[in-house]
Structure 1
Amino acid sequence: MHVTFVGEKPTGSAPCCSLAKTLEERGFRCSFLEEIESSSTAAWVRRARESDVIILTVYNGPSDFMIRQLALARLLGTRVVRWWVGTDVMKCLDNPLDQRQTNLLNRFLSVNVAVSPHLVDELLSIGIKSQYIASVTTLEPPANLSQRKTLPKSVLVYLPTNRKEFYGGPIVRSAISNNPDVQFLIVADESHSLAKYSNVKSLGWVGNMSDVWDEVGILLRVTQHDGMPRMVLDALQRGKHVIFSWSFPGCVFADSEETVNAAIHELKTGMSVNNEGIAAVEAILNRCPARQFDTLLRDSVESRDLGEASQAFLSVLFQTLRVRWTEMCRKIKPT
Structure 2
Amino acid sequence: MRIHFIGDDSGCDSIAVQHACAMADAGAGVSAESADEPRSWRARCREFDALHVTFSLARDYSLLRRVRTARSAGAAVVRYWAGLDVLWASAHPPTRRVGRAMAELGVAQWAPNEAVAAALERLGVRADVVPPADPHVSADAEPRAFPRDFTLLARLPAELRELYGGGIVDELIARMPGVRFLVLGDDPRRYAKYAHVEVLTAADDVLRTLTRCTALLEVKRFPSAHRLALEAMSLGRHVIGTAALPHVRRADSAEGLAAAVSLLRRDPHFHLEGREYVARHHDARLCARAMLDRLQQMLDPGRGALAMRGNAAGARLALAMPSIFSRRPIPPPTPESVQSADPLVRLLVESVDVPAAVTA
Tell me the TM-score normalised to structure 1 length: 0.84
Aligned to 2:18: 18
Q: Which amino acid aligns with 1:309?
A: N
C-alpha deviation, 1:285, in angstroms: 2.7
User: Given the alignment of the two structures, is residue 119 of structure 1 paired with residue 116 of structure 2, yes or no?
Assistant: yes
Q: Distance in 1 between matches of 2:53 and 2:125?
A: 15
Correspondence for 1:173 among 170, 173, 189: 170
**Contact 1:62/1:102 (<8 A) preserved:** no
Tell me, yes or no, if the aligned pair for 1:114 and 1:132 is still in contact at 8 Å.
Answer: yes
How far apart are the structure 2 equivalents of 1:261 and 1:143? 29
Structure 1 unpaired stretches of 5+:
328-335
| Distance in 2, Cα, partners of 1:308 & 1:281 | 37
1:132-168 Cα offsets, whole Å, 9 max, x none, are: 11121213357653x9799851101112233222212
Q: Distance in 2 between matches of 1:182 and 1:291?
A: 41
d(CA) in 1 for partners of 2:140 and 2:224? 25
2:158 match: 161
The structural deviation recorded for 1:205 is 0.7
1:322 shift after superposition: 5.2
1:300: which partner in 2? 298
User: Matches of residues 206-285 of structure 1 in structure 2 within 5 Å?
Assistant: 206-285=203-282
Answer yes or no: is the 8 Å Cα contact 1:68–1:319 preserved in 2: no
Which TM-score applies when normalising by structure 2? 0.79
Distance in 2 (alpha carbons) for counterparts of 1:271 and 1:115: 29
Q: SS at 1:250's partner residue?
A: coil
| Range 167-176 or range 188-197, more displaced | 188-197
**Does the Cα contact within 8 Å between 1:151 and 1:271 map onto a contact in 2?**
no
Q: Cα distance 1:69–1:154, how it changes in 2: closer, same or farther (>3 A)?
A: same
Q: CA deviation at 1:288?
A: 2.1
What does residue 349 of structure 2 align with?
Answer: none
Cα 1:187–1:204, aligned 2, differ >3 Å: closer, same or farther?
same
Q: Give the deviation of 1:184 after TM superposition.
A: 0.6
Highest RCO, 1 vs 2 (Cα 8 Å, sep ≥ 6): 2
CA RMSD of aligned residues (A): 3.0
SS at match of 2:199: strand
| Rounded Cα–Cα distance in structure 2 between residues aligned with 1:90 and 1:325 | 25
| Cα distance in 2, alignment partners of residues 34 and 116 from structure 1 | 31
- AA aligned to 1:77 is G
The Cα shift of 1:313 comes to: 3.2
Give ranges in structure 2 of 5+ residues lacking alignment.
330-360
Residues 139 and 278, structure 2, Cα contact 8 Å, conserved in 1:
no
| Equivalent in 56, 61, 67 of residue 59 of structure 1 | 56
The 3-state SS of whatever aligns with 1:61 is: coil
Separation in structure 2 between the aligned mates of residue 137 and residue 313 of structure 1, nearest angstrom? 36
